[in-house]
Structure 1
């Protein structure tokens, strides 16, 4: 373990676990190590008055499963919890965490190994639609790599870190497309973590895709003062 640490391997990978929102989760090099900022996202969602009544939720790009795990454990009315993940390395780690959740609480999360962009091409929104969609997608532009520490850059999965170079907000436009296709019910909520450098551009692009009359948005600062989160409420009838 000391050898791995001296070589720059993150402590959480060496230990095989990380704490997130009060839960101990399995982590390994195939998944992003859960961040404190994402814990802030969980707190924001749990503090929102409409979250308590959410019954159907989707976590897009679940990675270790930390978001789906924490929300499913905390929201009392959730009866259908789905975590979408495309990575073959991440999926078994998320599955192990969801199994631990089931054993500890009896709450279930269904892991759906699928690609977000392929899902959009299928045009198969659920019936009934979802109450809550949450995502912390890859949002770092490749040009930002030179500012990252070797511990992150050399050890954590690039699939989970980096957005497409051609469009650093591509995942957010795809999430907006999910809403436009009917994945989110009227009055439902979408919460995302985002790159502060593209916060306004992300908000504008999502509103443009859904329709400005059909969604209400707010950008929210994290504890360090950076614009880190976006909350969108879908209101197609207005």
Structure 2
């Protein structure tokens, strides 16, 4: 079995973000943000704290609501439907169904502490996808091998390092067979020596053709795996370029300032 989602229509975006706006009170966090992500692309989103990058990622998976615009996964609007020129929220069970196609990996792992590694991975396929336990466990063991942890199936999260927990979290996100993976600063909570083991798994996934949107400050990963690198600045995408252009010939002053600080 493959860990990568089935082939998509390569001529149409897998994820479409159209003029999305999001505010928290008087703070406008996203300002008419638009982005198309094709199947198989790896898009890295960078930016200073408070620039809107994590909020945008959470809006894609409808963990945050939007105030205007639209987000599509394939042909389906995420979280809403249009009615009379207005956005009408979908019911929670409809949103849950949509989230099956958009796996999410958080910076804080979010593993269930009372469940073994294997149980953490199979719980969603069994309860959300309706897979048999035998099918879910077989795929979970394949995924543990993929992330380099085949011997940890019966361990509990407290017995694992941070890097190992994050690799289990990636396996758990893959277990629902998503069309795309969303990573929200997946290495920011890790000790430096554990970062590479997580990034190596992510680079491997990119080589297999997994569609990925990654919020990160790890510019080495962006150089190695990204098709495009985006800089968010004050709620706006000010740079959207291939890595070679992003790092050597950025168009916006905010990008130059960001790179001057982060690449020191």
Scaled by the length of structure 2, what TM-score is found? 0.30
**Structure index of larger Rg:** 2
Higher helix share: 1
Higher strand share: 2
